[in-house]
Structure 1
Amino acid sequence: MRAVVVEGFGVLPSVREVAVPRVAAGGVLVRVEATGLCRSDWHGWQGHDSDIVLPHVPGHELAGTIAAVGEGVTGWEIGERVTTPFICACGTCEQCRAGNHQVCPDQLQPGFNYWGSFAEYVALPFAEVNLIRLPDGLSFDTAAGLGCRFATSFRAIRQVGRVQADENVVIFGCGGVGLSAVMIAAALGARVVAVDTNPEALALARAYGATDTVQAGTDVVAAIKDLTNGGADVTMDALGANSVVQQALLSLRPRGRHLQVGLLPSGVQLDVSRLIGQELEWLGSHGMAAHAYPEMLDLVADGTLRPAELITRTITLDEVPAALDALTAGTPAGVTVIHP
């Protein structure tokens, strides 16, 4: 099969022929019909993830058809249209038994723990726990964008952040995660402020439901406090930067909630005294379990959520190395989907 292969961290990958992954017991082999290009893939390529062993094939947002079924897998057949969370949980540990698959200590992530979906085929473990059947009306392109960015934002906003109608929610960073969060928070009835450096991204945020936008680089905190009448109820860092975290925390009103979704490979500094004195909540959110998908899929089916509108570009495998390299300069507006 053809795949995007990383030979060195930070070194431009190549597209070449490699062996098709084998199907392990309990798993399936999926022919990749669409896969998303995510900033997490860039972090992995840069060497920010200790689980990655070179040579490596990135890619963790995917949708496709089952090409082979491993020993012991029941309830799934060749040819079925499927997607999966980027966190493939074991299904048997203490956290999984409690329903918290997204923090399974024995999880495997395609594109990180093993070769991922920037390829014509990808192997998925623990199939009975992690596979999700695609509704007939859901395209492969849309489904590919759900597995990481949209599902992560849905759980962060809906479940972890507990966003309510009429709350002031500020989203920092309008890439795929941030724009997904804007759409989801707006659909829940929140007043959404989007912050980004890219005017095109801010225009998309307004199209997806943001009430106001703020150009990063201005006095962001003062602008947010003015727009929210004193401070946000919820802030979310969808980018992952120490400077963004500081602005987000300073933008909160007392007893506000901060959602950290963007990765922070260089660490972060926190004013713990302010966290205590203002009774602020720092909330981490990491993906969403397969069993939690039905609520999100129902909202997609009835038109409340419109993830297909987030897709702004489709590319081929041959275009992936350059697109990955371009993320070094910043996250482009919208979602990029790859057709292997």
Structure 2
Amino acid sequence: MRAVVLQDHGEPLAVEDVERPEAGPDQVVVETEACGVCRSDWHAWQGDWEWVGAQAQPGQVLGHEPAGVVSEVGEDVETLREGDRVAVPFTLADGTCPHCRQGHANVCETVLPLGFTSVAPGAFAEAFPVRAADYNAVRLPDGVDAVDMAGLGCRFATAFHGLAHRADLSAGDWVAVHGCGGVGLSAVHVADALGANVVAVDIEDEKLDAASDLGADETLNAADADSVGAETKALAGGGAAVAVDALGVAETCRNALSSLGSRGQHLQIGLTTGEEGGEIALPTDEMVMKEVDFLGSFGMPPTSYDEIFRMIERGKLNPGAIVSETIGLGDVPDRIAAMSEFDTVGIPVVTEF
């Protein structure tokens, strides 16, 4: 079958013929209907995240935002059947560790990141396997489009989990979103759906226009600002209650922190590049004196997906609104390379395999 394979870090990706997966006893094989192209794929291509033990190696099949149809079911799988349409989180859990049993499978003790390790080949492929399928493969509601769900496994779910579960966000609070790529636009849309007021910050007017369409009340082009933090803070009525760094570089992280009011909450969604190497210097004393909370959001437990589905059913969330284009598998290498120049808007989704 065809798949996008990492050749070497920073070298052009290639579409190759690879062996088709077979379902182990607790697994299903999913025929990929759609898979989002995410900045995390760019990180994998660049060789980032060695510092947290998550560096993808040459030969890795990439792709971690899939939706598709179950085509093969392992002998121990009880809840899924061939033909079921499913979404799959990128944080493949074992379903049995203490975190999983408490509903926090996204931080499972033996988590396998889909598309980042050889034992969890990714979904830029005609098909991919899912371990602990009874736990990880989430059946899609009737009528839900696979393209709309293609960001659910990573960007949209991470933004939702961060704002709905990690942050203490109330209707009418101000949320400042720094960086309006796929996860940033998802955060704008989710914050608006949860009743917050939103300031969107980026350096590209096209992305800020997209943020406005998704519910941002105010926008700020950081390239034109003398002090991004201070100007965002002013737009947010004197300080945001929640500030999101949706990019993961030192500048956006510190800008987000400086846009908070006292007792605000910083939500870190973006992961760092090789330049930061996993560490960013923070204004610790100011955070202490303002009683600022620093929170992380990493994926979302599959047991919580029904919350998103209910909001979609009621018309309050529309993940498909962040999808910018549909592409073929052969377009993936160029789309990922374009992320080096931040030259993508929204979520490109692969639909032709």
When normalised by structure 1's length, the TM-score is 0.98
- 2:260 aligned with 1:248, yes or no? no
Partner of 1:111: 115
Contact 1:160 1:285 in 2 (8 A): yes
Q: Is the 8 A contact 1:168 1:232 kept in 2?
A: yes
Note the 1:131-210 alignment, pairs <5 A: 131-210=137-216
Letter of the aligned partner of 1:127 in structure 2?
A: A
Q: Does 1:61 align with 2:73?
A: no
The residue number in structure 2 matching 1:89 is 93
1:239 to 230, 242, 247: 247
Structure 2 unaligned blocks of 5 or more = none
Which of the numbers 294, 312, 317 marks the counterpart of 1:300?
Answer: 312
Residues of 2 paired with 1:109 and 1:249: CA distance?
Answer: 28
Aligned to 1:220: 228
SS of the aligned residue for 1:239 comes to: coil
Does residue 259 (structure 1) correspond to residue 267 (structure 2)? The answer is yes
CA distance in 2, matches of 1:35, 1:331: 19
Q: Structure 2: how far apart are the matches of 1:89 and 1:260? A: 22
Quick one: distance in 2 between partners of 1:276 and 1:31? 49
Q: CA deviation at 1:22?
A: 2.5
Q: Which of these residues, 317, 321, 341, is aligned with residue 309 of structure 1?
A: 321
Q: Is the 8 A contact 1:108 1:125 kept in 2?
A: no
| Structure 1 stretches of at least 4 aligned residues deviating more than 4 Å after TM superposition | none
More displaced 10-residue stretch of structure 1: 277-286 or 44-53? 44-53
- CA distances 1:29-72 after superposition (whole Å, capped 9, x unpaired): 00001000000010011001343222111100000000111121
| Mapped partners of 1:210, 1:77: distance in 2 | 41
User: Which position in structure 2 is the counterpart of 1:48?
Assistant: 48
Q: 1:277 to 1:331 in 2, by over 3 A?
A: farther
Deviations 1:252-294 (A, max 9, x none): 1111000000002322111211111110000011111111011
Q: C-alpha separation between the residues in 1 aligned to 2:336 and 2:126?
A: 18
TM-score normalised according to structure 2 size: 0.94
SS in 2 for 1:16: strand
The structural deviation recorded for 1:231 is 1.1
Q: Deviations over 1:174-212 (max 9, x none)?
A: 111111111111111111000011111100110111000
**Displacement of 1:162:** 2.1
Percent same amino acid at aligned positions?
42
The CA deviation at 1:108 is 1.2
| Structure-2 separation of matches of 1:145 and 1:138 | 13
| 3-state DSSP of counterpart to 2:300 | coil
User: Does residue 326 of structure 1 match 2:338?
Assistant: yes
CA distance in 1, matches of 2:311, 2:168: 17
The size of the alignment, in residue pairs, is: 340
Query: How many Å apart are 1:331 and its aligned residue?
Result: 5.1
8 Å Cα contact 2:6-2:57 kept in structure 1: no
Distance of 2:127 and 2:241 partners within structure 1: 43
Residues 73-114 of structure 1 show CA distances to partners (whole Å, capped at 9, x for unaligned) of: 112111111111111111111111111101002011210123
- Contact 1:7 1:13 (8 Å CA) reproduced: yes
Letter in 1 for 2:205: P
Does the alignment pair 1:282 with 2:294? yes
Structure 1 residues 331 and 302 mapped into 2: Cα distance closer, same or farther (>3 Å)? farther
Deviation at 1:251, TM superposition (A): 1.1
CA distance in 2, matches of 1:269, 1:309: 35
CA displacement at 1:245 relative to structure 2: 1.0
Name the SS of the counterpart of 1:32 in structure 2.
Answer: strand
Question: Is contact 1:49-1:112 (8 Å) kept?
Answer: no
Structure 2: which amino acid aligns with 1:149? Answer: R
**What is the identity, as a one-letter code, of the residue corresponding to 2:256?**
A
Question: Is contact 2:33–2:146 with CA below 8 Å preserved after alignment?
Answer: yes
Cα deviations across residues 189-238 of structure 1 (Å, max 9, x unaligned)?
A: 11100001111110011011100000012131221122123211110001
Q: Which amino acid aligns with 2:272?
A: L
Q: Which amino acid aligns with 2:92?
A: C
What's the offset of the Cα at 1:17? 0.9
Preserved contact between residue 156 and residue 285 of structure 1 (Cα < 8 Å): yes
Secondary structure of residue in 2 paired with 1:29 = strand
